[in-house]
Amino acid sequence: MIPWLTLVTFTPLAGLVLILPVSGQRVSLIRGLGVLFSFLPVPLSLVILQAHDPQLPGFQLVERVAWIPALGIEYHLGVDGISVPMVLLTALLSALAALASWNITERAKEYWVFYLLLQVGMFGTFVAIDLFVFYIFWEIVLVPMYFLIGIWGGPRRQYAAIKFFLYTLAGSVVMLLGFLALYFASEPHTLSIPALLEQMPRTGRTFQCAVFIALFLGFAVKVPVFPFHTWLPDAHVEAPTPISVILAGVLLKMGTYGIFRLCYPMLPAGAQEFGLLFAVLGTVAIVYAAFVAMAQRDFKKLVAYSSVSHMGFVLLGMAGFTLAGMSGAYFQTFSHGILSGAMFLVVGVLYDRAHTRDLDAFGGLMARMPVYGGLLILFSLGSLGLPGLSGFIAEFFSLLGAWQLRMPFVIVSGIGIVITAAFMLLVFQRVLLGPLNPRWAHLPEIGPREVLTLVPLAVITVALGLMPWLLTEITDPALDAILRASQVPVP
């Protein structure tokens, strides 16, 4: 049997090892290796998709090797319906963002080393089913991210990188405490997720709630849930384009994935106790961040706040405790990965040319760059939830699923939908429409490499919008199991 999960996780590491001895002067060789090893996980993740049978319960493609037997810690990997799409998303966005890193020549060797290491951490997080392994991968992500923002970022990169690092580290320390509590509450002591899923729902209500909060804090910083979101706009604005793509497209999803994977099924008492809190936080994020986004002049900051707003739908959908809501929430997780990744690529294309992200400095670019304009419009329409594109399915089912239990919140979040439409259309108007600003009369149209990075995302957005079952058939059995587990009555 081939250990596909290990392969996909450590393929980027192999690339890293190959790059290390290469002289830093040979930029094109390094870049070639970097792009190649960022693309290799794509076929591997497709193999995993193929090998995974959504109908079977539990984890599949399991790899299990004893690691620190004295403490009951194992190298334990496995996937189910909610991790397979995340592996796919990571592979796809890493590959596309690698293409978007083409022009990075400054300290290229270090860049690619960090970039590949980042991928190892992301893949590992989504396939680990031992909390020890999970935590290691989770923290591996932080380090390269810190350097990628801090070295290749914008003018305030130091501040943004440190803020990102410390904020998420603070979150993960609390999460680690939660893990330790789980470890000592289990009998025999273990950090294996399947075993904990089995045992933890039987523990006491107070214990579950406390651990739930600890884990949730760790994940909430990552998502980010209001009011823990302020690191995100700074990190996005300073990060180079490909890193913004990874940050919005994958890193944020590690947070929601954690909630799906651990909080809900493992600690049902916490889920039931804090369902209302989820609805409140979700709705506040949807409305509040939409308004804040409307006030932005910096294109990247606007997209960053719109991300915060969109992730609110995940919480609201989960708070509904219906399969439609869970399905919509997960759909939003995936769809937002595609759409926000695409949005940051789109912003990057403009920034590379104009060296500004000030929305009010543009105007009339539709006449100058029609292809670019078309792509920008497509992705913004997707994220404002236009029916026929993936964002609509996600929002609609999140709201549909949340309706019965959380009706007032669903109605209030309608304001957020209108405001989102308003600021997205204002983006078109400020960037694309109106008279052409003469300053940009010679701006070149989007190039073939850039189109290549965007087309797969466009295809996925449309395909999922019309044929949502492509995703829901993979995820729904697993989500159904999570939902059932989260509804277990607790003594």
Partner 1 sequence: MLILFGRRIGRASGLVAVAASTAAGVIALPLAWRVLDTPEAATLTWSFEWLRWGDQTMRMGVLVDPPAALLLFVVTVTGTLIQVYSTGYMAGHPRYSRFFAYVSLFMAGMLGLVVADNLLLLFVSWEIMGLCSYFLIGFFFEKPSAAAAGLKAFITTRIGDVGLMLGMILLWWTAGTLRFEELAAFMAGHPVATGALTAAALLIFVGTIGKSAQFPLHVWLPDAMEGPTPVSALIHAATMVAAGVYLVARTFMLFQALPVACSAVAWVGGITALMAACIAPAQTDIKRVLAYSTISQLGYMVMALGVGAYAAGLFHLMTHAFFKALLFLGAGAVIHGFHHVQDMRQMGGLRRKMPVTFATMAIATLAIAGVPPLAGFWSKDEILLSAYHASRPLWVLGTVTAGLTAFYMFRLLLMTFFGEQRDKHIHAHESPAVMTIPLVILAVFAALAGLPGSPWMGMWLQRALHVPWLHPHEVEPSRFVMGLSVLVAGAGIGAAALMYGPRPVISPARLAERFAPVHRASLNKFYFDELYLAAVVNPAKRLAAALWRTDQRLVDGAVNGAGLSAWLSAKAQGLFDKWVVDGLVNLAGAIVHAASAVTRRAQTGLVENYMLMAATGVLALAYFTWWNTG
Q: Which of 433, 348, 434, 424 is nearest to 386 (CA)?
A: 424
Q: If binding is defined by CB under 8 A, does position 169 make contact with partner 1?
A: no
Residue among 195 and 433 whose Cβ is closer to partner 1:
433
Handedness of CA 187, 193, 198, 199 (dihedral sign): positive
Of 105 and 429, CB closest to partner 1: 429
Q: Which is nearer to partner 1, 291 or 351 (CB)?
A: 291
Q: Looking at residues 41 to 70 of the shown chain, list those that interact with partner 1 (rule: CB under 8 A).
A: none
Q: Using CB under 8 A, which residues numbered 360 to 399 contact partner 1? A: 364, 366-367, 381, 386-388, 392, 396, 399
The total number of residues shown for the chain amounts to 491
**Vertex 131 angle, CA 317 and 171, to 5°:** 60
| Nearest-approach distance from CB 340 to partner 1, in angstroms | 19
Residue number, 127 or 342, with CB nearest to partner 1 = 342
Distance, in Å, from the CA atom of 79 to the CA atom of 81, rounded to the nearest integer, reads 7
Q: Are 70 and 188 in contact (CB under 8 A)?
A: no
Q: Does 295 bind partner 1 (CB under 8 A)?
A: yes
Q: Which residues on neighbouring strands pair with residue 128, listed in sequence order?
A: 77
Binding-site size for partner 1 (CB under 8 A) equals: 51
- Residue nearer to partner 1 on the CB measure, 180 or 294: 294
Q: Quick one: which of 71, 166, 371, 455 contacts partner 1 (CB under 8 A)?
A: 166
- Smaller CB separation from partner 1, 78 or 391: 391
Cα dihedral 369, 371, 372, 374, rounded to 10, equals 120
Applying CB under 8 A, among 59, 167, 278, 362 the residue interacting with partner 1 is 167
Instruction: Kindly state the smallest distance separating residue 164's Cβ from partner 1, in Å.
Output: 11
Tokens of 415: 């304001």
User: Taking CB under 8 A as the rule, does residue 447 contact partner 1?
Assistant: no
Round to whole Å and give the CA distance between 109 and 200: 45
Nearer to partner 1, 45 or 296 (CB): 296
Which tokens in the block code for residue 283?
Answer: 């709705």
In this structure, what is the dihedral angle of CA atoms 393, 399, 404, 406, given to the nearest 10 degrees?
160
Q: Are 111 and 104 in contact (CB under 8 A)?
A: yes
Neighbours of 360 (CB within 10 A): 10
Interface contacts to partner 1, rule CB under 8 A: 163, 166-167, 226-227, 229-231, 288, 291-292, 294-296, 323-324, 327, 364, 366-367, 381, 386-388, 392, 396, 399-400, 403-404, 410-411, 414, 417-419, 421-422, 425-426, 429, 432-436, 468-469, 472, 476, 480
